[in-house]
Structure 1
Amino acid sequence: MSLRLATFNVENLMTRFDFTGFRNQLRQDRVIQLFDVRSEGVYQQLEQARVIAATDDTRQMTALAIADADADILCLQEIDNMAALQAFEYGYLFRMVGNGYRQKYLVEGNDSRGIDVAVLMREETRDGRKIELRDIKSHAMLTYRDLDLFDEALGQNAHIDDKIFKRDCLELDLLIGGVPFTLYVVHFKSMGSPRDGLDGRQATMPVRRAEARAVRRIIENRFGAGQTPTKNFAICGDMNDYQERVDVIGTRRTGYRFEHKNETESALDAFSHDGFAENVMRRRDEMDRWTLYHARGPQEQWLCQLDYIWLSPALASVNAERQPEIIRHGQPFRTVFPPGQEVERYPRTGWDRPKASDHCPVVMTLDLK
């Protein structure tokens, strides 16, 4: 019996317009900055027109990427609300895949922008096994005190009674053809901008490290620390950190070369350092594990994995011969692909936008026992 499991940060699946850019240029879209807009009413009209004009192509590509993943269970990040998820599934995804995802789950989390994690599930797997939800639990209200995870490294502004998860850790207790399977869906703290003499990744790593430790603690509390290796669980989502990257060196004019680099520390070491879970992307070639292209000019560009399917030791062992797939057809043309990895982009893909997302879907076929 097999299950196709996927994760995808769809990048701002929103139902709201953001008009704060009229007073805060840091929130203003770059195309509107080209024009002298002095009236807030005119600004709002232009912003609405811009968003609506750009969204249709974007969401067609998002749906194409999801259709190519062809997952039975799809973990999503950056969803505005259930209304947005339903409108997207009915208006776009259903047109791509036909037999839609009838089971939809979303719980409002802690994100200040209102973006949440969600799960779409078919009623049956592709081989006809029933997918049943036994229980769903949000862990958004957990604090550092609750799990004894407060650390001075979190910074002077952190408090022991602050919520651990900046979005949520959504736990789904499932039966797949009668076989127990537990799914944890997360979207960890973003890296942000440099601060206090540190780059954005280092400055925010203590928060993500606490989130990863919290996920581990939740799983150990659920099954018992000594029992976790024998259980069927997966941790999926955008974890906004990486343990390795591929530096992209050069320009379009001079050409590119690529150098693999291991990081000395990562928030995700909490999962990997003692074999608690396996990052199955490591089964692919080290130059071909990336799910996002980061660039701030020619001097700062790299490919890295931010999107993960971590498997329990039991699941990893049963699926030792399988590898995850990465759907990269929705990447914009500015993304630099290492030699041999180029793909055909979806119709109407732009240099930077429109695109399916800044992230790539990751999907894996799993045997369950």
Structure 2
Amino acid sequence: MSLRLATFNVENLMTRFDFTGFRNQLRQDRVMKLFEIKDERAYEALESARVVASTDDTRQLSALAIADADADILCLQEIDNMEALSAFEYGYLFRMVGNGYRQKYLVEGNDSRGIDVGVVMREETRDGQKIELVDIKSHAALTYRDLKPFVPGLVSPNSEDDKIFKRDCLELDLRIGGQPLTLYVVHLKSMSGNRDGLDGRTSTMPIRQAEVSAVRHIIENRFGRDRTAAMNFAICGDMNDYQERVDVIGSRRLGYRFEHRADLPSALDGLSHDGFAENPMLRRDPLDRWTLYHARGPEEQHLCQLDYIWLSPALSRLNATRVPEIIRAGQPFRTVFPPGQEVERFPRIGWDRPKASDHCPIVITLDLK
């Protein structure tokens, strides 16, 4: 019996318009900056039209990427609410894949923008095994004070009563054809915001380290530290951190070269350093593990893995020959691909937008027992 498990940050699947750009230039879309708009009502009308006009292409492309992943269970990030998820599934996914993801789960988390993690599932796997939800639990309320007795040295950035998870750690107990599987779906703190002379990734790393410690504590507390390695669990989502990256050096005119940088300091070391969980993406070539292209001009470009399906040791051993797939056909044309990795993009993909997402879905086929 096999199961296809995927994760995908769909990038701002929203039901709301954001009009704060009229007063805050940092929040204003770049195309709106091309026009002189002095009246707030006119700005709101134009911004609404811009978003509506662009969203249909974007969500068709998101759905195409999900259809190509062909997962039985799909973990999602950056979902506004259940209404947005249901509308997307019915209006887009249903048209691509038919009667597929009828089971949908989302719990409102802590994100200041209101974006949440969620899960959609088929009723059966491709080979006819029933997919059942046994229990679901949010850990959004977990605070530094709650965790401090269990994690020595944990220091809260502000107050001990602050929530640890910037979004949530959504825990789902499942049975797949009668076999147990527990999923932990996360979207860790972003790497944005330089502070105290540190770059955004470095300055925010302590928060992600706390989130990783919390995920690990939740799992060990659930199964017992001595039994955890033998359990069927997976940690899925956008981790907003990487242990390695591929630096992209050059330009379109002069060409590119690619340099792999390994063993970078990372909050994710808390999952991997002692074999607590394993990243099966390491079974791919070092230049071919990326799920996101980051660029701030020609002098700052790299490819990295931000999206993960971490497997328990038991699941990893059972699936030692399974290699994750990365769906890159929804990437915009500005994304620089190393030699031999180019794919045929989906119809209507643009230079920067429309696109399926800034992230790539990843999917892996797993055996369970």
Q: Percent identity?
A: 79
- 1:169 alignment counterpart: 169
**Deviation per CA, 1:212-260, whole angstroms, max 9, x where unpaired?**
0100000000000010110000000000000000000000011000000
Structure 1 segment 177-192 matched on structure 2, within 5 A = 177-192=177-192
Amino acid at match of 1:330: G
Is the Cα contact below 8 Å between 1:150 and 1:160 reproduced in 2?
no
2 CA distance for matches of 1:82 and 1:150?
Answer: 37
Quote the offset at 1:154 in angstroms: 4.8
Does residue 99 of the first structure (1) align with residue 91 of the second (2)?
no
- 1:231 alignment counterpart: 231
Does residue 76 of the first structure (1) align with residue 76 of the second (2)?
yes
- 1:31 alignment counterpart: 31
Quote the offset at 1:150 in angstroms: 8.2
In structure 1, stretches of 5+ residues that fail to align are none
Quote the offset at 1:303 in angstroms: 0.0
Structure 1 segment 50-199 matched on structure 2, within 5 A = 50-148=50-148, 149=151, 154-155=156-157, 158-199=158-199
SS at match of 1:265: coil
- 1:309 alignment counterpart: 309
2 CA distance for matches of 1:255 and 1:154?
Answer: 45
2 CA distance for matches of 1:253 and 1:98?
Answer: 44
The 10-residue stretch of structure 1 (91-100 or 181-190) with the greater mean CA deviation from structure 2: 91-100
2 CA distance for matches of 1:259 and 1:89?
Answer: 39
- 1:201 alignment counterpart: 201
2 CA distance for matches of 1:8 and 1:152?
Answer: 30
Quote the offset at 1:153 in angstroms: 5.9
2 CA distance for matches of 1:153 and 1:266?
Answer: 17
The 10-residue stretch of structure 1 (143-152 or 314-323) with the greater mean CA deviation from structure 2: 143-152
SS at match of 2:288: coil
Quote the offset at 1:262 in angstroms: 1.5
Quote the offset at 1:264 in angstroms: 3.2
2 CA distance for matches of 1:216 and 1:120?
Answer: 24
SS at match of 2:308: strand
Quote the offset at 1:152 in angstroms: 7.2
Is the Cα contact below 8 Å between 1:281 and 1:289 reproduced in 2?
yes
2 CA distance for matches of 1:291 and 1:152?
Answer: 30
Structure 1 segment 321-332 matched on structure 2, within 5 A = 321-332=321-332
SS at match of 2:286: coil
Quote the offset at 1:193 in angstroms: 2.6
Is the Cα contact below 8 Å between 1:326 and 1:361 reproduced in 2?
yes
1 CA distance for matches of 2:94 and 2:212?
Answer: 34
2 CA distance for matches of 1:328 and 1:128?
Answer: 28
Normalised TM-score (structure 2): 0.98
Quote the offset at 1:194 in angstroms: 1.7
2 CA distance for matches of 1:161 and 1:81?
Answer: 25
2 CA distance for matches of 1:126 and 1:367?
Answer: 13
Normalised TM-score (structure 1): 0.98
Is the Cα contact below 8 Å between 1:144 and 1:150 reproduced in 2?
no
Is the Cα contact below 8 Å between 2:154 and 2:210 reproduced in 1?
no
Does residue 215 of the first structure (1) align with residue 215 of the second (2)?
yes
In structure 2, stretches of 5+ residues that fail to align are none
SS at match of 1:278: coil
Amino acid at match of 1:255: G
Does residue 14 of the first structure (1) align with residue 28 of the second (2)?
no
Amino acid at match of 2:354: P
Amino acid at match of 1:284: R
Quote the offset at 1:145 in angstroms: 1.1
In the comparison of the two structures, how many residue pairs are matched? 367
Is the Cα contact below 8 Å between 1:171 and 1:182 reproduced in 2?
yes
1 CA distance for matches of 2:4 and 2:134?
Answer: 19
Quote the offset at 1:263 in angstroms: 4.0
2 CA distance for matches of 1:151 and 1:190?
Answer: 22
2 CA distance for matches of 1:120 and 1:32?
Answer: 35
Quote the offset at 1:98 in angstroms: 1.0
Does residue 44 of the first structure (1) align with residue 44 of the second (2)?
yes
Amino acid at match of 1:137: K
2 CA distance for matches of 1:200 and 1:150?
Answer: 25
2 CA distance for matches of 1:295 and 1:264?
Answer: 19
Amino acid at match of 1:172: L
2 CA distance for matches of 1:141 and 1:302?
Answer: 35
**Deviation per CA, 1:72-107, whole angstroms, max 9, x where unpaired?**
000000000000000000000100001220100000
SS at match of 1:65: helix
- 2:339 alignment counterpart: 339
